[in-house]
Chain A
Amino acid sequence: MKRQIFIAASISLFTTATPVLAEDGDSILNSKCSGCHALTKPDDLSLDRLWERKGPDLFYAGDKFNKPWLVQWLQAPVPIRPAGEFYRKYVKPGEKSDIIDSSKLKPHPKLSQSEAEVVADTLMTLTDSSNLIEKGKFKGEKVSASMGRMFFTKLRGCAACHSDSPGKGGLSAPELYTAGSRLQPDYIYSYTKHPQKIDPAVWMPRLELSEQDLQRLTGYIVQLDAGRD
């Protein structure tokens, strides 16, 4: 009897202590993530598909995210899109204005540290071959926080849909106060310049922005996070 318990305990210890192998990133993505996220570019990128998809596309994740953020967030996910993906399915009329129907929002699954690391590794290999992102476009110049904020709020109206600090700004789009650690600067630049080039039916308008605007807004968003400013 003692021997059986010892064997069972050994098997259990072995199973839990076995590290997740690097090649498991693919299998975790396919088993746990592909139900909601596109890991390869879909043939259909229409408006109808936008209504059907359950989570943001990840087939260009390697062009979009910063790996350290992915590793951390996958273990302790917090909402990035206050009104879900996509907002229209999760809002309803309220007393004074539309409100988020939080009963419909589901928390993102958590991964263990070892799972998060291999999944982040694999996600960083997912890049789109059609040059969605203009690499090296962001010059990295420091932006005056007050000037950046004026453009973000009053002059270009980004704050109508995005928040640049918790509780301030619109709710239909991703919050941007953690975007500096979450997103690659060239992705922010390219997405701001032409959202539909990356996500064809997305509900973000394409603004007429000068090169100076794009540098200023990208810099402001990059600086928002982690006390960089």
Chain B
Amino acid sequence: MDVKKTVLGALLIGFASIFIIPALPAMAASDNNQYQHAERLYDTYCTQCHGVNRDGNGINSTNMSVQPRDHSDPKGMGDIPNSEIAEVIKKGGLAANKSVLMPAWGDILNDEEIKELTAYLRHVCQCGSDQ
């Protein structure tokens, strides 16, 4: 009986290693592909202040009077509705009574890209009721 269980266990592990485990990176990749364009936009325009790790610690952050928002923080990001996130990206911090240091990107990013970035920020923080 024990031998049977061992054999069955070994077969299951073998099955997993052949079919399931190799599929995991592919699943992760397809998940990332959904945000590929938004990620590139973020890396180009946002990381200078919000950081490579999306944590508000960009290369410019040490000289700024107001710390850029930590996009990886579910607590700080969770209460902000998508509409406000999109509004701030498009019209800048002043549009939501936030810092002038967050500029308006509406001349550079189109509405679809702003929508993609908003969804990407939800993905980064893994938070928000309307994610």
Contacts and interface: CB of A to CB of B under 8 A. Distances in A.
A156 interface: yes
A161 B62 CA distance: 11
A47 interface: yes
A75 B58 CA distance: 33
Interface in A159-207: 159-161, 168-173, 196, 201, 203, 205-207
A203 B59 contact: no
A168 B64 CA distance: 10
A18 to B, nearest CB: 46
Contacts of A155: 100
B84 interface: no
A203 B48 contact: yes
A168 B44 contact: no
Number of contact residues on B: which range applies?
Answer: 20 to 34
A131 to B, nearest CB: 19
Given A196-B107, A205-B105, A206-B107, A97 B58 contact: yes
B51 A160 contact: no
Contact of B100 (A51, A92, A156, A170): A156
Contact of A99 (B40, B59, B103, B108): B59
B44 A157 contact: no
Contact of A203 (B45, B61, B104): B45
B44 A201 contact: yes
Nearest to A100: B59
Contacts, number: 89
A98 interface: yes
B60 A172 contact: yes
A94 B53 CA distance: 10
B80 interface: no
A83 interface: yes
B12 interface: no
A168 B63 CA distance: 7
Given A98-B59, A205-B105, A160 B47 contact: no
A196 B58 CA distance: 22
Interface in B3-21: none
B130 interface: no
A88 B108 CA distance: 18
B38 interface: no
Interface string B11-34: 000000000000000000000000
Interface of B: 40-41, 43-45, 47-49, 51-53, 57-65, 100-101, 103-105, 107-108
Interface of A: 47, 50-51, 83, 86-88, 91-94, 96-100, 154-157, 159-161, 168-173, 196, 201, 203, 205-208
25 contacts: A51-B40, A88-B44, A88-B47, A91-B47, A91-B59, A96-B57, A96-B62, A98-B51, A98-B52, A98-B59, A100-B59, A156-B100, A157-B100, A157-B101, A160-B101, A161-B48, A169-B63, A172-B48, A172-B59, A172-B60, A196-B108, A205-B45, A205-B107, A205-B108, A207-B104
